[in-house]
Structures are given as structure tokens and as C-alpha cells.
Structure 1
């Protein structure tokens, strides 16, 4: 039989003798030791030499409550039973709130009661230790996990988040805990659908949605969550693991974009060949017809022939532009400063900007790093985007603002205008060939710009803003080995 080591901490020797007498009537599995002051008691507790501690409320230097509190704060995991000369509900509640295993009145202690109190205290301490060990393991996993982990509830209250989550969303802990979880969902309907599905099933795997960080960055994420009962607060909480799928989505979108580019190029070349042959025949027939002696001096007929030829030439040029906008050409890559490329592009469009009375401003930050690019092609792409902004503005004042900054290993260039913007139903169509909502526009400028940036392993995207449009261009600072030709 394993011996249970009990230490009595009491400054009264008579109480020790009485307590020893009680233990003589209990099982022989207990061994009792005694110390007579506060300091010896704390020393023994810190050395973890005993399995149970009986602590008198009055200890001279301090009270048993003081000793109990110091022991708990020092990490004592063994049960401590408080003893008093007479019952006091205030001391009882205070002791239990701090962490006492039990509270006994000396005059009421009988051998069976003391035996039962010690056995229950040891059992309870074992359960608490197992819970603490489990909590420590969970906390270690929680804090060291690479993926963000969020603890919230059905009301949207945020109870906890790990370090990876704080880094992901860009908040300080004190700021984040005071938020509602709706603040991190980019779409309120997605948040409601997540909640409904989780409540209906009790758990949820790979729920895909958009989450937003403190600085407004939107991430495409997968949420895996389950509901657990919080025994302390007696409420249900959501444990949610967040995985960032933005890179995967970027790869998928890039793959789709490349696929569209190959298809567009194939269609453009085939269509171009089909149209060029009849156009050549028409032009040849027009030349022969205009040389006929019967109509050579007929000014009216010659004028009509010139109109037909002009329109044929226009169709030929349109087809050539279409083919050029879809062609994949080798890049002549050289190192250039991004500021120089932007300024030259703006200078090339100076007449257009002045002619439309547009106020164009720039904010070009951190542009000391050179980037590997095909300068003429990037300039054409930039000019196409700026022209698109010019065409989008119909009323004064007309403003365009160009920004450039380094974001990780990318140059991020923004072209923002205060024009009419793009209607939501049309936002996913604007990079398609020939799609346009503007008069006298062929709908190829943005298509060509996107293709140029894709061949540089970059990207072009439209961002929603309250007024006007914002096009964001991303160009790698250095990705020589990853470039696509």
C-alpha cells in the first residue's frame, strides 16, 4: 500500500497532538509530519516533499490564507486543506476561491471525515493536474501552430487567437480580442453561412471564404471548425483553423488566364487568316475597278471606292491589333528602374492628358531597386491602363493618381481615377478581348496589358473603390528563373 505523506502546518503543538490522535484512528496508509511556522511550511511546499498539506488559519507571521495564496502562486499542485478553530463562511469562500481543496473546522473533525477529505482532495488534485497538463499541451500546440487558430462563439465574440493568427490579421492581441468576428469576414453573407453550417453539423471542414486583415488585404481562406463546450463559462465556442489559399487561388487563376491566352492566340491567328484572304481579294478588285476607263474619271464612284478601301484597311488594322494583343512574343529583358519606366510612360501621354485637362499626380516610393523587364512592352501596358483611366472620366475635375511601392518582392503600381468606375457585373469581363463599355474603343488595351504583365510573371487586377477605379499592377523585382516566354 502506497503511503500518503501528510504535513500539518500549525503553530500550536497541542493541535498537532490532537491531529496525530485522529490519524491513529485512520488507515495506516497515512504518515503525518508537522512544522510549526509559516516559513517552514512554505519551504516544505516548495520542495514538494508531501502529498497533502493541512494548514491552520492562524500561523503567527501570516494567515493560512496568505500561505495558501503564496503556495498556489509558486505552482503547488498538491492539495491544501484549510483548518480553523471555528467556522467562518468568509474564510471558507476565500480559501476555496484561491484554490484550497477543502475547508474543515477543527472541533468538528472526526477520523472518517478527515480520511474522506484527504482521499477526495488527492483525487481532485489528480484530475486538476491532468487537466492542467492537457491545457498546457493544447496551449503549446495552439501557440506554435503555423496556421491561425481562432476561438469565438455564435454571437461573434472572440475569446482567443494564437500568435500566427495575430500575425496573419495584423492586429495586436488587445485590439483583436475586442473585435467581433464579423470584422474579419470580407462578406457578411459568408459569415452567416459559415455559422449556419457549423451550428447545423457541429463541425465544418474546408469552408472557403474571403477574410480581411487589419490593413484591408483580402485573403482567400479555408476554414475548418468544430464546436466545443467551454466548461468554465458553460457555453459553446467555435475552434477554427484558418488556412490561407490565396497562393493556390493565384496559381489557379494564372493557369486559367494562360489557358485563355493560348486559346485567344489560336482563335486570333485563325480568324486573321480567314479574314485577310477575302480582304486581299476585295482590295485587289477595288484596284482593278478604280482603273477601269469607264469609271476612272467618275469622281462619285471613285469616292465610294475610296470609302470601301478605307474601311477594308480599318478592318485589316483591327485584325492586326487583335492578333498583336494575343500574340506571345519573346521578351527582351533588361534591368530598369521602375520610376524611369513610369515617368517615360506618363511623358508619352502628355498631350492626351493635357488635352483632356486631367490632373495627374504620382507617389513613387522605394524605387531604388532595378527590375528585370522588357521596357517597351511594360510602357505600352502602362499607357494602355492610363488611357483606360482617361476614357473612364466624363466630368470635371478629372484626376489620375499613380503610386508605386515595394511590397515584399514585388513592385506594386496603382493607377487610380475618379471616373465612372466599373459595374460589378462587368468587373470579371474587362480583360476579355473586345469587351468595352466606352464609345470608339476596341476593347483590346487591357487585354494586351494583362498579357504583357502575365509574360513578366506579374499580374493586373481591378480593385473596388468607392469612387472610380483602381488598377493594381504587380511586377517581380527579380524572378529571372521563373519568367515565362
Structure 2
């Protein structure tokens, strides 16, 4: 049996009720009409949600039907409200529809078929809106509670919305973030263009890998999945993008490659060292024997040549020892240190170097409320090596070095930048290789050793935007290399 549709008429004129009841009597038995004669009784009935649809007279004595409509909607009424009036005032019609009325009927022109059509249309529209609101609420719940960043943007790059997970990931306040465009989030402009091209071409995109940038300049390797949807409110297409941070996975992969290179380098260095050490020992013995012979010991020219040969043998021996030392994984002397204080101590110990080269150095350090487990001397050595490289690279005045320290998720990030020529992009993948250098009279082992020290701390060393970036884990209770 078809369920009755419960209709409530809210009208302070009993004659209007009698006329309306006469109209409903001509309709099928699917409607049940009730009546209240005041504004307050009407609001009370709406709040109790006992009816399926409401017919509201525009004039109710205490207030207008528009007032009642607004109060009902503010109270969360989801049932359709149809406005009734005694004249065809277009301004009232427009006001009612703008306030959320489902329809508008003129009393003098009401006919049974018109009432039936209006109620059926209003109920169908209300059910559709309710379904949309329920769907929106579910989406909003998922959107707000998701840990992964979710971004809503469009083709032009304008940002429409971001969830709390996204604000936390990028490190912005909402008011700051909404002034950005998606250009500010992509580390590489070419990747952004490629993302838009692929998304516009297919309407959806899965697992597009790229680098995104946070507020503090941290670069994160991410996978983004996106789809295009029509925004029915603003009548524009928007991108719904879910971001997954793959930095940890990428870090593990890079660390695995680095550790593999380290193991190979160590093996080669020790083997090569042994192969070179034996002939050098033999050469040194022969040189000592020749130098002791009477006819040679009195020949100054020959003695000078022997000294040159011996000096170069010693130089090869020292170079080989440095190479072996730079590739060895040594035991860490771990202790808890205030990282900001450690950086300041390191700079203080390099004061003569900085003053001698007229370097202006600035610091901007975030101070942690906890100490980091690390080898103090080795980290100082790394800082000294990178600052020394920066000093040697700068040729023109003013010579500036800026060192910043920031919190980047679970790591402390130290950035060392100078106003020198920087690292040529074509060399960025080679600068940590043993013996690679673009400087004269340098052995190319400093950065190799520095990277090894950071790796043994479960951190990393990289070049980003011309700066050397050191990352050290804050929570470091797991086993470190020893």
C-alpha cells in the first residue's frame, strides 16, 4: 500500500484552510492535510519533523512566511516548504526561492493538479538535495579526517580547498595556503606541466611521482592521484588530488644504493691500498739503498732526484690512506647533543677561516626541545668540510654564507648556502663520488667522507637549489652503523 504524504498548512486564516482542504479533497487519497493557525505552532511542528511537506502562507501575523522559512532552514529543516500568497508579487516569489522555498503558489490560481505537481516536484527535489547533502557530508568527513593530504585546485593553479592533513604536510596555516597556487607546491615546473597534461588528457591520473615543496623549503618525493570533477556551485572543473609522501621509501632506496656504493668503495679501497702498498714499500727500500751508496751519496743531483721520487711515493701513500679512511665505516662515538649549540660551536671553531677570507656568515637555527643522538666530532667535521668548500668556491665580494636549521617532519635539516657559483647541475650526481672534484689541488674525498658520516647516522646529505642540505633523524634509538 502506498504511504500517505503528510502535508501541513500553516495559515492564520481559517477560510483559507477550508478552501485548501477542498482542493485536497479532489486529489487522490495519497495526501493527508493538517492545519495550524499561527507562526509559533508552525515552527513547533517543523522542529518535530512530523510532516513530509509544508504549505506556508506569506502573511502569518507575528511574522511573514519568509521569516518562518528562514528560521526553519536555520533549524535544519530538510522537508520542502511551499510558499503561498494572495497575490502574484514577483519580488516575494524571488525572495522565497532565494531563501530556500521549494516552490511558490498564488492562492487565487491554485488548482488540484497544480498542487499535486508542486508537491511531487518538491519532494523529489528535496530527496535529491538530501542525497547530495549526505554524500557531501560523507566526503567532507573523509576529506577532513584523512591523514594523507587532499588538495582541490583547478587548471589555472588556483587552490579551492585543502584538508588538515595537507596543511600539516606542507606546514602552512589555512589563511597562508589559500593565497598560493599549485605552482608554489611543485619543486619542478616541468613536472607540474606534465601532471596537468596527463590529467587533462584522461580525466584521471594515478600514482604520478613528483617532488613537492613545503613552506620551509623541504622537498618531498610524492605520488599523487587525481581526477577532474565539475564543481556544481561554481560551475567549473576542479582537480581532486590525493598526495602520498614517498620520501621515506625514496630515502630507503637511496640509502640502499649509497650503502651499496660504500661497500664497493671500501672493498676496492682496501684491495687497491694493499696492491699499491707493496710496490711502494719496495721502491722506498731501493731508494734508501741507493741513497746509502758512497758514489751516489756524494752526488747532490742524484740525491735531489731520489728525494723527489721518495716525496712523491710518500704523497701516493698519504693519498691512498686518505682514500681508505674516507671509505671505511668507523665506529660512532654517540652522545646526545643540542644540535643548534653544536652548529654554533662548529662556526666558532672556524672563525679564523671565515675572518681570513672576509666571509660574512649568518645563522637562522630552529632550537629543538630535545637532544639528538650523534657523533659530535664527526658531524662537526662534516660541517667544517662543507663550509670550507663554500669558502673556496666564492671568488667575488661580498662573500656570504647562510646556515639555517629547521624541523622537517622527523628530521632536523641543516641547509648551508653561499653566494658563490654553486654546483653545476650536470655534476650534482657525481660530487659525492670518490676523487671527483672540479677544484685544482683537491683530492675529491671531502664530500665522499661527509656523505658516509651522514649515512652512518641514518641521515643523508644532498644538494638542493644550490644549497647543501644535511638531514639527521631526531628519534634515533635504532641501531646505527658501527
CA distance in 2, matches of 1:118, 1:145: 40
Question: How many angstroms does 1:407 deviate by?
Answer: 5.9
> Secondary structure at the residue paired with 2:297?
coil
Q: Deviations over 1:180-231 (max 9, x none)?
A: 2222222222111101101111110001111222333222211101112223
**Retained in 2: the 8 A contact 1:367–1:405?**
no
Query: For the Cα contact (< 8 Å) 1:457–1:482, is it kept in 2?
Result: no
In structure 2, what is the Cα distance between the partners aligned to 1:398 and 1:246? 34
The CA distance in 1 between the partners of 2:364 and 2:144, in whole Å, is 39
Q: Does 1:112 align with 2:109?
A: no
Match of 2:198 in 1: 197
Cα displacement string for residues 260-303 of structure 1 (whole angstroms, at most 9, x for unaligned residues): 11111111112112222222222222222223333231111111
Q: Which residue of 2 aligns with 1:481?
A: 478
Say which SS state the counterpart of residue 429 (structure 2) adopts: coil
- What does the per-residue CA deviation read over 1:340-397, in whole Å, with 9 as the maximum and x for residues that have no partner? 6556645654554454344455566637854433344333333322322222222334
Q: How many Å separate the matches in 2 of 1:345 and 1:169?
A: 31
CA distance in 1, matches of 2:369, 2:135: 52
Is the CA contact 2:86–2:108 (under 8 Å) kept in the aligned structure 1? yes
Indicate the residue corresponding to 1:384 in structure 2. Answer: 385
Going from structure 1 to structure 2, the CA distance change for 1:419 and 1:221 (only over 3 Å counts) comes to: same
Aligned positions of 1:249-264 closer than 5 A: 249-264=250-265
C-alpha change, 1:48 and 1:4, in structure 2 (3 Å) is same
> C-alpha displacement at 1:114, in angstroms?
1.2
Mean Cα deviation higher: 179-188 or 324-333: 179-188
Structure 2 SS opposite 1:260: helix
Q: Quickly say closer, same or farther: Cα 1:228–1:366, change in 2 above 3 A.
A: closer
Cα distance change of structure 1 residues 359 and 201 upon mapping to structure 2, 3 Å threshold: closer
SS at match of 1:482: coil
181-190 vs 103-112, greater mean Cα deviation: 181-190
How far apart, CA to CA, are the structure 2 residues paired with 1:368 and 1:15?
Answer: 74
1:70–1:401 Cα change, 3 Å = closer
Over 3 Å counting, the alpha-carbon distance change for 1:407 and 1:195 in structure 2 is: closer
Partner SS state of residue 294, structure 1: helix
Moved more, 325-334 or 308-317: 325-334
Q: Distance in 2 between matches of 1:276 and 1:142?
A: 65
Q: How does 1:70-469 map to 2 (within 5 A)?
A: 70-338=71-339, 341-342=342-343, 345-346=346-347, 349-360=350-361, 366=367, 369-403=370-404, 410-465=411-466
Normalised to the residue count of structure 2, the TM-score between the two structures is: 0.92
TM-superposed CA distance for 1:324, in Å, is 0.5
Question: TM-score under structure 1 normalisation?
Answer: 0.92
Q: CA RMSD in A?
A: 2.4
Deviation, 1:447, is: 1.0
Quick one: distance in 2 between partners of 1:367 and 1:151? 34
| Aligned mates of 1:200, 1:181 — CA distance in 2 | 19
Alpha-carbon displacement from aligned partner over 1:90-146 (angstroms, at most 9, x marks no partner): 211221222211111111111121122112222221121111111111111111111
Do the aligned partners of residues 47 and 344 (structure 1) sit closer, same or farther apart at CA in structure 2, a change above 3 Å counting? closer
Q: SS where residue 205 of structure 1 aligns?
A: strand
Which consecutive unaligned segments of at least 5 residues does structure 1 have? none
Greater Cα offset, 140-149 or 371-380: 371-380
Residue 469 of structure 2: aligned partner? 472
- Would you say the 8 A contact 2:400–2:419 is kept in 1? yes
Higher mean C-alpha deviation, range 13-22 or range 180-189: 180-189
1:55·1:83 contact (CA, 8 Å) conserved in 2? yes
> Structure 2: 5+ residue runs without aligned partners?
none
- In structure 2, relative to structure 1, the CA distance for the partners of 1:113 and 1:378 (3 Å cut) is closer
